[in-house]
Structure 1
Amino acid sequence: MRLKDKVAIVVGAGQSPGEGTGNGRATALTFAREGAKVLCVDRDLESAQETVKMITDGDGYAEGFRADVTRSDQLKDMVEEAQRLWGRIDILHNNVGVSLAGGDAELLEITDEAFDRCVAINLRGTIMACKHVIPVMRRQKSGAIVNISSMAAITTYPYVAYKATKSAMIAFTEQLAYQNARYGVRANVILPGLMNTPMAVDTRARTFKKSRAEVEAERDAKVPLRGKMGTARDVANAALFLASDEANFITGVTLPVDGGASVQTG
């Protein structure tokens, strides 16, 4: 019960179509298992409510909320809803992001519309969610924010908007940590590597007209640790640590969860 009596907002608590569990859903389930009351936020309310049901079926506490991260007013409403339900906000977890699904492409192929869409979803949404939750956490003199970037930020990655926005996420989180440390508010960022999630695997299978097994094999072969991708649970466990009081003296940190990809050489 590492999050006992804490209130958490998980943005992106639903998931993309496909096999297995996504990072956002896994994190919401993990937070609830560890005692948090969780507001499961997603633009697809039905998907968010599926996560809520998984939590409540396990005797946890959760509510669903619909918000499109490209709408700052809806993110403001999200924060107000968490306060209305439980009176405080201890954790904000930002897990929304798109690449190929948002029209991302290589430099010579990307359109203005696709680039703007990815920026609005991947970066602006996180910044605006933080904008609305920070005043609450400052008043409380406590809070933990965990943002999800990607190993794409610091390794070779062919698609422009995802790499640019996920790189910016690191810089923003560092700024957030520094400017709010005096208020007792922590902010850290996780860099998932190659993960076996619906967004990462099933989206690529559909886009490139390959089987899921083919995409899995190609991605597994690139992972140094055991030659297997990570799972959403690996990201959720890292987020749990950073959100918990065990990480009480940790802020401004960039944490790769990547099976050793970031230290691979040659």
Structure 2
Amino acid sequence: MAYATYEHRGVRAVGEVRDSTLIPLEGVTDLGNGSMPDQLMSATRNVRAQVPVDEVRLLPPVQSPSKILCVGLNYRTHVTETKRELPTYPVLFSKFASNLLGPNDDIMLPPESTQVDYEGELVVVIGRPGRRIAEADALDHVLGYTVANDVTMRDFQYKTHQWLQGKAWDASTPIGPYLVPPNEINLENAGIRTVLNGEKVQESDLSMLIFSIPHLIATISTFAELKPGDLIFTGTPGGVGYRRDPQVFLREGDTISVEIDGLGALHNHVRADETSGGTVAAGS
């Protein structure tokens, strides 16, 4: 079982995914904002209003998270390629709801950046609120999981020791396609991979996380109450473009995909954003 937030004929809805069809859930318009696991299970399925997935625009599963917390350096392979020491505490940074894109939306290259990079990631969606959550109880607060590409403007990221200006560009971060409940997937050995123009550029499995999902939830909830719909990006494996030799950055016309076994895949085309009147010089 999986759930999707989608737009059909100008109307936003949440549906249960059945094969290639979406069954709308009556009274549910966002997988955040109090959509507890039991509410999703008990919602009425409007079978008569079902619609094929390929006839809708898939949106980010959660439309208005109160918080998006992201983890850097959470795979050994990525720590190694950055030539840093293994962290003893999660490296955390934030994004905003305005950063999110749908799973098939175009990634726009801003004219200000020449180093636009990819980062395939697992995302945790919170379903039950909590503060100072114990690791032993952490998974009880998870509504489900989804896939993301933490698109990063490296030349802006490394302007300072803080990463916000490279990570939080509006309409830059694809997420989706579905939200999959915890009981529907075994994350222990699920593979994660990123494919750029048909070439695999990242590959690992989720057992390789340095800080586990329960540990991340416990750590973050120490200083901030987690609320339904909040998102935790869990970090990216090695293979990012910035650390390759030669470096690889996204260019106009590229196709980038991120897939996690059991969760689905993002498929995004890359285009130049010319709305500001500037020109794009993609990195190489």
What TM-score comes out, normalization by structure 2 length?
Answer: 0.26
Higher helix proportion (structure 1 or 2): 1
What TM-score comes out, normalization by structure 1 length?
Answer: 0.27
Q: Which has the higher contact order (CA 8 A, sep 6+)?
A: 2
